[in-house]
Amino acid sequence: MREYERKNVIVLLNILVEETLEGKWDPSQKDNAHKVAERKYTAGSLKAWTGMLRDVICSVLNLYDKDERKKIFLRYVDENKWEKIRGRIGRTFEHKLWSDPSPEVDSQLRVNNEEHVKDFLKQNGLTVNWILGSES
């Protein structure tokens, strides 16, 4: 089971790099693409979206039991499920909030308090239900 977990975490991290950092993270450029990428990895932001991502992945994998959700990647995950997970990760980071030019967004995402940032994301329409496509 740990071998599945190791492989699954590697796949997940590769997807996150491809969707959020590749071709975007370049502090020397200080351009909009970098600013958007940087927002995703501020302390508060990271804490908030990783919790949401866990819920999204559990939903895609049909893990509803509390004990099963604790062992999220201790199982085989087929390619179709990975494509759905990739799609949901893409949807998460395509949300308009990430590229909103308001300085308020930066200050709210930097708050090192997961609940505060989750509330801010929710107020701006970025929720697990929206990521899963349940809300437009």
Domain residue limits, the chain: 2-131
Percentage, residues of the chain above pLDDT 90: 93
The answer, as to whether pTM is greater than 0.85, is yes
Q: Average pLDDT of the chain? A: 94
pLDDT at 74: 93
Residue reference for tokens 């709210």: 108
Q: Indicate whether 11 pLDDT > 90.
A: yes
pLDDT digits (tens, 9 = 90+) for 45-103: 999 999 999 999 999 999 999 999 999 999 999 999 999 999 999 999 999 999 999 99
